[in-house]
Structure 1
């Protein structure tokens, strides 16, 4: 059972963390809105769409920066405990330093579980809405998607291409499908536009042509519209820049296995997304230990010194996380090592600081 000390610290732990989120998220929304307001007004975006965007932005923002918020919140309230000599009172009552850490670890477990649920299922949905709004309204007319030519091998024999794909409308332009038997193309499908029909999982092809390549002459078929089915899925036509972020963990695992079979060149990018969904929640434990070790000692400079140290350590952690993640995405560097390296380095730092703080 939790003692009075456990309940007291746990209440401070979770309360300060939630309060910091509630304080910083409106600031993030305000800064983002100030930056995007001109485009929102120029494109006459409906209010309901803006409201949905900032709901998605809130989840996206919280999931991205929760380690920093958690770290600063633990430093903040632990520094207050130290300045009020409450930490000394706890330890003087016969409570060991490791026993003093127990409510912090319980709090870190609660935050870790919440971050796992958010990262595995809620954040992907938010990321989908966030990116769809960005491409639909904020980057409208910039040809961002026209430049994302999608060329995919969907099995041993078939290749598809689409020059433009709208995720929200699930439609694309300049679609082709080429079928090979060995090294020889046997037929090629082409359409000026392709649209996915969610109701029956079929595809509509507009200005459709099919060229069957024969020994002596080719056979050409054409129709204004053709409704048909394909063996590939709608995700195969999605721009690869952010597709992994929009899939929940189960879907992401299936997607990565399918992409490996197809020899996709973006596997490292997808692997980084998958491993981060585990590494970031686990960082709650490491950052909590570092924050307690740094702030549980009463310093001459008071809370300001502890916060300065905390902000510095937090920024270094985020820098490591971003730099190694980018390195894995852009090279052959192991995604697993890249995503877990910050936790390993800061885990060693946490052990060192904990031993010093215990003394």
Structure 2
């Protein structure tokens, strides 16, 4: 590598690291100021709180990785432009494409670390982060009910509940179906279902069992009946953040298992999987946009470049969040939801790069 490459690459990595070290403590202080009351009220141990903020650092650094990098590239490239260093580079016969090379090398290093972080470290951090949050920070808050849960428990059994409250361990309109091959053997209905912790069983109210044998249907009814079932309480209230807590290999197996069970959260899980790949790609795209925007010396100085960069970053986050929500809550393709912002901003990157070269 030449002196120019080392000079820009060191600035690229150093400024990005400084950006992380600057904003992460600010994020921790803001979060602590907001939640210190709940931490004290629920008597969260100091060591668990310290581990929570370590997980908090990894969790949010993973989410905001590309945006921190984007702003840091705009910052130091604008300083190069204002110091007329870029003009000197290009005047010495270096092409703009050659000038861009150390940025792409730096993006490769950061993207590689981002990929490793998203595949292995972030899932561990997410597990600890969410467990602490629901144990101490949301301990006294009402947890939202799960709606219309339909799941395949094993090769023969299916369950359905129209709504279930994890806090009360109570659900409505419960159905349990047992098949042998393609033949329905019996079906259990209940107006209400409640989990009994004392013996890990379920109490059914308005119990009706329809049994089918040799073309003959028999009906059994009881006002209240207590039963054991081959499923866990979590099957009635699947954890929405479950996919975030798994490494990539575990996530692939988990998604296949949830597809067989007929989970309604497949779109959400697919978004988590695809984001592990889309985030490293976005690092390249945002690096190119940042260089193209900030490599020109402007009358307003760095302030203009930073303002323009922040606007682009906000638009990127807006698109990312909107399409992510659509994939989670509607019949919208997770692939389109995750990759469309990168495609749109990739086109913008090519356009801005061509203008920068001219």
Instruction: Establish whether TM, by shorter chain, passes 0.5.
Output: yes
| 1:338 alignment partner in structure 2 | 337
| 2:352 alignment partner in structure 1 | 353
- Provide the secondary structure at the position in 2 that maps to 1:300: coil
Query: How far apart, in 2, do the equivalents of 1:237 and 1:243 lie?
Result: 14
Query: How far apart, in 2, do the equivalents of 1:192 and 1:316 lie?
Result: 46
| 1:37 alignment partner in structure 2 | 36
Deviation of the 1:299 alpha carbon: 0.6
Deviation of the 1:3 alpha carbon: 1.0
Using a 3 Å threshold, how does the CA distance of structure 1 residues 244 and 56 change in structure 2: closer, same or farther? same
| 1:183 alignment partner in structure 2 | 184
- Where in structure 2 are the equivalents of 1:160-175 lying within 5 Å? 173=169
Query: C-alpha root-mean-square deviation of aligned residues, in Å?
Result: 3.1
Query: How far apart, in 2, do the equivalents of 1:216 and 1:285 lie?
Result: 65
Using a 3 Å threshold, how does the CA distance of structure 1 residues 107 and 236 change in structure 2: closer, same or farther? farther
Using a 3 Å threshold, how does the CA distance of structure 1 residues 290 and 13 change in structure 2: closer, same or farther? same
| 2:223 alignment partner in structure 1 | none
| 2:252 alignment partner in structure 1 | 253
Deviation of the 1:91 alpha carbon: 1.1
- Residues 165 and 237 of structure 2 are in contact (CA less than 8 Å); yes or no, is this contact kept in structure 1? no
- For residues 8-64 of structure 1, what are the alpha-carbon distances to aligned partners after superposition, in whole Å with 9 as ceiling and x for unaligned? 111000100010011000111111111111111111111111111111110111011
- Residues 282 and 342 of structure 2 are in contact (CA less than 8 Å); yes or no, is this contact kept in structure 1? yes
Query: How far apart, in 2, do the equivalents of 1:216 and 1:321 lie?
Result: 53
| 1:206 alignment partner in structure 2 | 200
Query: How far apart, in 2, do the equivalents of 1:237 and 1:132 lie?
Result: 19
- Residues 245 and 273 of structure 1 are in contact (CA less than 8 Å); yes or no, is this contact kept in structure 2? yes
- Residues 158 and 176 of structure 2 are in contact (CA less than 8 Å); yes or no, is this contact kept in structure 1? yes
Query: How far apart, in 2, do the equivalents of 1:279 and 1:32 lie?
Result: 27
Moved more, 347-356 or 247-256: 247-256
- Provide the secondary structure at the position in 2 that maps to 1:69: helix
Query: How far apart, in 1, do the equivalents of 2:348 and 2:101 lie?
Result: 19
1:104 aligns with 2:88: no
Query: How far apart, in 1, do the equivalents of 2:248 and 2:92 lie?
Result: 46
Deviation of the 1:124 alpha carbon: 1.2
| 1:201 alignment partner in structure 2 | none
| 1:300 alignment partner in structure 2 | 299
- Provide the secondary structure at the position in 2 that maps to 1:341: helix
Deviation of the 1:66 alpha carbon: 1.2
Alignment TM-score, normalising by the size of structure 2: 0.84
Q: How many aligned positions are there?
A: 337
Using a 3 Å threshold, how does the CA distance of structure 1 residues 151 and 132 change in structure 2: closer, same or farther? farther
Query: How far apart, in 2, do the equivalents of 1:233 and 1:10 lie?
Result: 52
Moved more, 239-248 or 18-27: 239-248
| 1:135 alignment partner in structure 2 | 134
- Provide the secondary structure at the position in 1 that maps to 2:200: strand
Query: How far apart, in 1, do the equivalents of 2:300 and 2:118 lie?
Result: 37
- Residues 62 and 122 of structure 2 are in contact (CA less than 8 Å); yes or no, is this contact kept in structure 1? yes
Query: How far apart, in 2, do the equivalents of 1:342 and 1:98 lie?
Result: 24
Query: How far apart, in 2, do the equivalents of 1:321 and 1:286 lie?
Result: 14
Query: How far apart, in 2, do the equivalents of 1:290 and 1:216 lie?
Result: 69
- Provide the secondary structure at the position in 2 that maps to 1:185: strand
